[in-house]
Amino acid sequence: MAPTLAGRVALVTGAGRGIGRAVALAYAQAGAAVACVARSGGEVAAVAQAITAAGGRAIALAGDATDAALMAAHVRATEAEFGGLDIVFGAAGASLENKPVAESDPTLWRRTVEVNLFGTFVTAHAALPALRRRGGGKLIFVGSGMGHRGAATRSAYASSKAGLNMLVRVLAQELAGEDITVNELVPGPVLTAFISGRVDALRGAVGGQEWFKEPEDVVPLALFMATQPPRGPTGQTFSLARRDL
């Protein structure tokens, strides 16, 4: 049976492009109303328009996922538009610093951690009251194999994703008595603008056996995670990688 999200409301960050865009479109196709959030207003508006043109329900919400007040406002707007919130898919991410520690730019290093780790915290913090009002829900955040093993020159990105992994685990422990699950999705390398110009170097870092996929290849796992039962898996890492994390 095809996964169904009929009657559910999802909020997707990073929805303007790449994995976030593919998942927002897929969740809508599966029946969910989708609040699409991204820094680029034009891109996220186009995704929401594509959903509504196909007969779905969507709103576009522009802004930075590290802005706590803005994310709280976006959650309120989602509830006002669709009546609640059931699923959060956090795909907003950045990799701004890819140099050895000794040569790194502290400003870019800090911003990478802010987007990937603090942005995840802000998204969860903003969404939790709405999920509790709904009686449960799903928090799904895009992690990385780099957050489990690391790689030379990737200290900012690897550290931020390692922090995301630990935040997922701690938050799952805090919510263990509620019907709110928190899990990490590790897609492995995906051919998007995110890794543009670094594909060969990344192949060398992760090994020749790795699966370099398109954003749409992540959709089945994202749907699987969104359709697990209320007392289903939590604090877990689900991975599409073809290497030991």
Q: Which residues are catalytic?
A: 157
Total number of residues shown for the chain = 245
Q: Residue 133 burial (CB < 10 Å; 0-12/13-18/19+)?
A: exposed
H or E stretch at 184:
strand 180-186
Is 178 in contact with 128 (CB distance < 8 Å)? no
H or E stretch at 133:
helix 119-134
In this structure, what is the dihedral angle of CA atoms 165, 99, 149, 11, given to the nearest 10 degrees?
30
